[in-house]
Amino acid sequence: DVVMTQSPLSLSVTLGQPASISCRSSQSLVDSDGNTYLNWFQQRPGQSPRRLIYKVSNRDSGVPDRFSGSGSGTDFTLKISRVEAEDVGVYYCMQPTLWPPLTFGGGTKVDIK
């Protein structure tokens, strides 16, 4: 199984400042079709998860452009350019490349300093 490792476990950020979350996979997420499948999810307190980013860097509809994804192979990053109060929650990376099983990172909790 592909192990997804996120860091840091938690992040306390001042409003308006940037934030960065790292995700590393135990195997390359480059598929045989040449695409890299790595998604990011946001889970606000008391809510269901919501997908933010798919295939490393593609934002889902309705996702603010302050969220961006990057990376390749086994190393990936989610960046928030200017953190807002509504960004508080837990962020997860997930790989749908080498499955089953689909695997998630352990999560990174983001709060406001």
Partner 1 sequence: EVQLVESGGGLVQPGGSLRLSCAASGFTFSSYWMSWVRQAPGKGLEWVANVKKDGSEKNYVDSVKGRFTISRDNAKNSLYLQMNSLRAEDTAVYYCAREIALRYWGQGTLVTVSS
* Binding residues vs partner 1 (CB under 8 A): 37, 39, 41, 43, 48-51, 54, 60, 90, 92, 94, 96, 99-107
Q: How far apart are the first and last CA of the chain?
A: 36
Rounded to the nearest whole angstrom, what is the least distance from the CB of residue 98 to partner 1 in the complex? Answer: 12
Q: How far is CA 85 from CA 62, 96, 111, in A?
A: 17, 30, 8
Burial of 30-44, coded b for 16+ CB within 10 Å and e otherwise, reads beeeeebbbbbbbee
Pick 83 or 93: Cβ nearer partner 1? 93
Rounded to the nearest whole angstrom, what is the least distance from the CB of residue 100 to partner 1 in the complex? Answer: 4
Pick 16 or 32: Cβ nearer partner 1? 32
Rounded to the nearest whole angstrom, what is the least distance from the CB of residue 101 to partner 1 in the complex? Answer: 5
- The residue whose two tokens read 């089953």 is 100
Pick 43 or 81: Cβ nearer partner 1? 43
